[in-house]
Homo-oligomer: A and B are copies of this chain.
Amino acid sequence: MSETRPLRVAMIGYGFMGAAHSVGWRQAPRVFELPAAVEMAVVTGRNAEAVADAAAHWGWQESATDWRAVIARDDIDIVDIVTPGDSHAEIAIAALEAGKHVLCEKPLANTVAEAEAMADAASRAAAHGVRSMVGFTYRRVPAVTFLRDLIAQGAVGRIAQVRAAYRQDWLVDPEMPLAWRLQKEHAGSGALGDIGAHIIDMTQFVTGLDVTAVSGVLDTIVRERPLQGSGSGLSGTAAEGYGEVTVDDVAIFTGRLSTGALVSFEATRFATGRKNALTLEVSGDKGALRFELEDLNTLWFYDRTAPAETQGFTRILVTEAQHPYVAAWWPAGHMLGYEHGFSHQVVDLITAIAEGTDPHPSFAEGLSVQRVLDAVEQSSERGSAWVPVGASVPASR
Contacts and interface: CB of A to CB of B under 8 A. Distances in A.
A301 B313 CA distance: 10
Interface residues of A, number: 89
Contacts of A168: 333
Oligomer: number of copies: 4
Contact of A276 (B272, B332, B337): B332
Nearest to A307: B322
B250 A262 contact: yes
A277 B215 contact: no
A314 B317 contact: no
A365 B16 CA distance: 39
A291 B219 CA distance: 25
A275 B332 contact: yes
A320 B337 contact: no
Contact of A221 (B160, B274, B312): B160
Interface string A250-282: 101010000001101010101111111100010
Interface string A343-357: 000000000000000
A310 B301 contact: yes
A361 interface: no
Contacts of A313: 273, 314-315
A178 to B, nearest CB: 17
Contact of A383 (B216, B334, B386): B386
A72 interface: no
Contacts of A316: 309-312
- Nearest first, the 4 A-B pairs at minimum CB distance are A275-B333, A276-B333, A273-B302, A337-B337
